[in-house]
Every structure is written in C-alpha cells, then in structure tokens.
C-alpha cells in the first residue's frame, strides 16, 4: 500500500517497521503502567520485554523452519532473512521465556502473565496495520464493496480488490485487548486473563484465515495455521473452565469447613456453660388454680405485727399472780 516512509542515504524507513516498533513500545508502556497500579515492579516488565522480543523472533523463525523444512533445505537463506516467521512460534517463545524469567526472579508467573498478555494484543494490532502498509497477509479476491486494491510493488497481488484481512485482524486484536482489560477487573477471573488471550487469538485467527489469500499447507480447505488456532483456542477454554471449576469447588469446601467449625464452637460453648435456672413464670405463681385455690389471696400483714408479737412473748414470760396459780 504505502510502505516506504522516507530514505536517508542507503537507509530506508518503512511503515511496517514503524508500526511494529510502535506496537512494542505501546505494549511495554501500558504493561509498566498497569504493573505500577497493581503494586508490581515495572522494571521487571521492561527487563522481560527485552528477553521476550528476542525469544519471540527466534521462536517465530524456528517454527517457520519446522513447518517449511523443505523450502529451508532448498534455500538456506530463509534462516537469516527477514521473511518467514510464524506468530505461534513467537507466542510459544515469549511465554516460555516468561516462565523461566519468573522462576529465576522468584516472581509469581500468573500475575505477570495476566498483566502482559492483554498488552501483547495491542502490539499485534499495530503489527497488522504494518502488514496492511506492506501488503503482506493479504486477503482473497472479492467483489465486495470493502475490497482493497494494492498498488504495484506490494507483496499482495496488485490491481485486484482483496479482502482487507490485515485491517480486520487489527480491529479484532484491539477489540480483544479491550475485552481483556474489562475481563480482568473481576477478581474471580484471576489467573485466567492470559489464558483467555490464547482463546480469543485462536478464534479470531481461525475465522480470518478463511478470507486470506496467502494461506499455505492447506488440507481440505483448512490450513495448518487454522488447525493450530483451533487447538490453541480449545486448550485455552478448557484451562479456564478447569481453573474456575476448581476455584468454585475450593470455595464451597472452605464454606463447609467454616460452618462445621462454627457448629463445633457453639457446641463447646453450650457444654461448658452452667445450666440456666428456670425462670419464674405466671404459671408458678398461679399454679394453685388446679388445686382449688383460685380465689386465695395472701392475708395482709399489719404494720405493727412485729411489735404485737414481741409484747406477746413478754407477757408469757412474766410469772402469774397468786390468783392465776390457784
């Protein structure tokens, strides 16, 4: 499309390279910003980015050589030229490097995996825009109104309308990044954000490849890339389901254990407490109703009853007179 940006002597700047660099820079800066907000170490993201870029390029080239072994044997220059890379190799290489990096630095893998992978989608989106300018990863011929015609000198066939698979792929990556940024806000989705990236990427690549015109190794209308995509998406979906199921089961088990502990504590408190004395009720006071004392009321004791009783005792203690003795 419009790939050559400008030249300075023998040095030429291409839009493809600019978009790749812009994507990597955006992914790193966004990841570092998000790491700071999460209480993680932003410098660790920067360090991993350097290792991840190298391992991603090596993995992409290695995967291409494995898939296109015959072509590489026939033309060994494919080993070191800029063309011939597979994105699956880059993903495997970068994730493997992250595992080793976290193990060496004693970091929690899933914290950084969930942190980095949504930003990787941003880098891939910019990369697909670069593909659009270069004309690679082009679509099939179409009579649709959205068909794009590439000029002479592009990698894509010139002069015929083609499906804009590069732009559709870029839009898909940006959309998936937004979805994952939203998805990760739920604490229940912890440790599944990075895996969700694999599923979303696989689904998008599988569908878009049906419209691509540069597919290779096609068997019954399905390319080897599509087989890898659907396998990646299925594996990611299964892993997410397993993690969420285990998390739910553990939560239920903890809840049951907590209920049992509360029950045991309540039982211990009941066993150790003294028996409560029965409270007097109206039935205790009026219990004589059944014995025929319904109308019985206690006699009122006069206020001077104590004095009268004392006088009575004193009189009985005095000696009787002679008349009384007779």
DSSP 4-53: EEEEETTEEEEHHHHHHHHHHHHHHHHHHHHHHHHT--HHHHHHHHHHHH
**Residue 55 to residue 96: CA distance in whole angstroms:** 9
**Residue 36 to residue 22: CA distance in whole angstroms:** 21
pLDDT at 310: 46
pLDDT at 134: 87
Residue 326: pLDDT band (50, 70, 90) is very low
Question: Is 70 exceeded by the pLDDT of residue 112?
Answer: yes
Q: What is the mean pLDDT of residues 104-108?
A: 92
Residue 9: pLDDT band (50, 70, 90) is confident
Residue 14's beta-bridge partner residues?
4
Q: Kindly give the residue spans of alpha helices, DSSP state H, lying in 209-304.
A: 224-272, 282-285
- Helix, strand, or coil (residue 212): strand
Q: What is the pTM of this model?
A: 0.74
More confident residue, 239 or 69: 239
Q: Which two tokens stand for residue 21?
A: 């660099």
- Among 25, 102, 89, 20, CA closest to 58: 89
Q: Which two tokens stand for residue 181?
A: 């940024």
* Phi, psi of 164, deg, nearest 5: -80, 65
pLDDT at 288: 47
pLDDT one-digit tens code per residue, 243-266: 999 988 888 887 776 766 666 666
**Residue 119 to residue 181: CA distance in whole angstroms:** 9
Q: What is the mean pLDDT of residues 204-228?
A: 85
- Average pLDDT of the chain? 81
**Secondary-structure percent of the chain, ordered helix, strand, coil, rounded to 5:** 70, 5, 25
**Residue 56 to residue 91: CA distance in whole angstroms:** 6
Question: Residue 225: which residues within 8 A CB-CB, separation 6 or more?
Answer: 86, 88, 205, 209, 215, 217
pLDDT one-digit tens code per residue, 118-146: 999 999 999 999 999 988 889 999 998 99
Residue 3, number of CB atoms within 10 A of its CB: 20
Residue 162's beta-bridge partner residues?
141, 148
CB 224 within 8 Å of CB 87:
no
pLDDT at 299: 52
pLDDT at 325: 39
Q: What is the mean pLDDT of residues 51-57?
A: 91
Residue 272: pLDDT band (50, 70, 90) is low
CB 174 within 8 Å of CB 24:
no
**Residue 296 to residue 288: CA distance in whole angstroms:** 9
Q: Which two tokens stand for residue 129?
A: 């825009």
- Among 150, 168, 147, 170, CA closest to 159: 150
Question: Is 90 exceeded by the pLDDT of residue 236?
Answer: yes
* Phi, psi of 286, deg, nearest 5: -100, 20
């Amino acid at each position: 499309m419009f790939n050559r940006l400008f030249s300075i002597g023998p040095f030429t700047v291409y839009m493809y390279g600019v978009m790749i660099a812009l994507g990597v820079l955006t992914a790193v800066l966004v990841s570092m910003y998000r790491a700071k907000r999460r209480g993680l170490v932003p410098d660790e993201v920067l360090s991993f980015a350097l290792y991840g870029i190298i391992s991603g390029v090596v993995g992409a080239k290695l995967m291409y050589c494995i898939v296109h072994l015959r072509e590489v044997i026939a033309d060994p220059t494919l080993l070191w030229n800029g063309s011939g890379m597979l994105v699956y190799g880059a993903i495997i290489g970068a994730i493997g490097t992250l595992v080793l990096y976290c193990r060496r630095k004693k970091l929690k893998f899933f914290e950084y995996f969930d942190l980095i992978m949504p930003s990787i989608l941003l880098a891939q989106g910019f990369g697909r825009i670069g593909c659009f300018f270069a004309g690679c990863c082009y679509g099939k011929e179409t009579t649709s109104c959205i068909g794009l015609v590439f000029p002479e000198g592009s990698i894509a066939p010139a002069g015929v309308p083609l499906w804009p698979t590069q732009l559709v792929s870029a839009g898909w990556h940006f959309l998936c990044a937004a979805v994952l940024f939203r998805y990760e806000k739920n604490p229940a989705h912890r440790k599944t954000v990075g895996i969700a990236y694999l599923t979303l990427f696989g689904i998008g690549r599988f569908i878009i490849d049906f419209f691509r015109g540069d597919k290779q190794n096609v068997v019954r209308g399905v390319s080897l890339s599509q087989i890898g995509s659907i396998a990646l998406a299925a594996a990611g979906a299964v892993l997410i389901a397993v993690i969420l199921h285990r998390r739910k089961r553990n939560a239920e088990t903890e809840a049951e254990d907590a209920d049992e502990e509360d029950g045991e504590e309540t039982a211990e408190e009941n066993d150790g407490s003294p028996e409560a004395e029965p409270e007097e009720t109206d039935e205790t006071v009026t219990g004589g109703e059944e014995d025929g004392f319904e109308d019985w009321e206690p006699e009122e004791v006069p206020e001077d009853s104590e004095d009268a009783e004392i006088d009575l005792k004193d009189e009985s203690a005095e000696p009787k007179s002679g008349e009384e003795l007779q």
